[in-house]
Amino acid sequence: MKPLTIKEIKAQLAAIETLDDPLFETFKEDSRKGVQTAIKVRAKQIQKRHDLIAAHHQKLSYERHLKSQGVKYIAGLDEVGRGPLAGPVVAATVILPDNCDALLGVNDSKQLSHELRLTFAELIKEVALDYGIGVVEAAEIDRFNIYQATKIAMERSIEALSFKPNYLLIDAMELQNGIPQQSIIKGDANSLSIAAASILAKVYRDELMIQYHESYPEYGFKSNMGYGTREHLDGLENYGYLPIHRQSFKPVPSMQPRKI
């Protein structure tokens, strides 16, 4: 019988979903370099997917435990923007359904590329039972301090939901609102609900800062998102601070206001 072409073997390998599939052993007997390379590539792809699935299930451990105790609506909360010199602090609350298979690969927003965050943000909005965004602007941050402003943003994100959750999973924060909750260190890496919230908060805030960049490109908001990069500091020194700058964050207080 005529041996399979490398293209045909690649097609069969593409249909394999497990590393213990007997076809792997069969094709390993083929000495052609192209076949051996194809085997390695497919094995790596399968292993990567298995690792993603394992990580996905691990990120649902908090949610599964709570649901096994009869908790129905579990909300994940996270924020972004505590450190920048400009722009708001933004929080998001996300309530995920029991079946989150569509969110395979969702992770701490800081671990994802800009493109992946955008893709996942749209997917999360489609899959989530509900989600809310809370925003606290620079003037309020100056009035309350960043720690309290972060709590306010989280409370506002909960208030933006269409129904009240039964339980909160929060990234390293506690809220005094009467809702049962758990504060999780590195929650965005350990809970899928919190990771989803981190993505929505990050994408929302980044889009705001990009809009500000269109009006004030001298500060480099599109790339620094309001953080104190050299370009941003040069902009402050040369043009002064804007209403979106936090006057309680150094070195903004030592600058002059921009004439607009």
| Band of pLDDT at residue 260, cut at 50, 70 and 90 | confident
In one-letter notation, the amino acid at residue 159 is E
| Confidence (pLDDT) at 83 | 97
Least confident stretch, 36-45, 121-130, 200-209, 241-250? 36-45
| Band of pLDDT at residue 198, cut at 50, 70 and 90 | very high
| Confidence (pLDDT) at 51 | 87
Is 135 a residue whose pLDDT tops 70? yes
| Confidence (pLDDT) at 103 | 97
| Confidence (pLDDT) at 248 | 97
Is 54 a residue whose pLDDT tops 70? yes
Give me the half-sphere count of Cα atoms (radius 13 Å) on the Cβ side of residue 202: 26
Torsion sign, CA atoms 176, 180, 185, 187: negative
Is 105 a residue whose pLDDT tops 70? yes
Least confident stretch, 26-30, 62-66, 197-201? 26-30
Give the integer Cα–Cα distance in Å for 18 and 43.
8
- Structure-token match 């990120």, residue found: 59
| Band of pLDDT at residue 1, cut at 50, 70 and 90 | low
Report the chain's mean pLDDT, rounded to a whole number: 95
Give the integer Cα–Cα distance in Å for 240 and 214.
17
Rounded to whole angstroms, the maximal C-alpha distance in the chain is 83
Mean pLDDT of the 56-69 span:
96
| Confidence (pLDDT) at 217 | 98
Is 199 a residue whose pLDDT tops 70? yes
Least confident stretch, 46-55, 95-104, 191-200? 46-55
Mean pLDDT of the 199-216 span:
98
Q: Please name the helix (run of DSSP H) or strand (run of DSSP E) that holds residue 43, with its range, or none.
A: helix 33-59
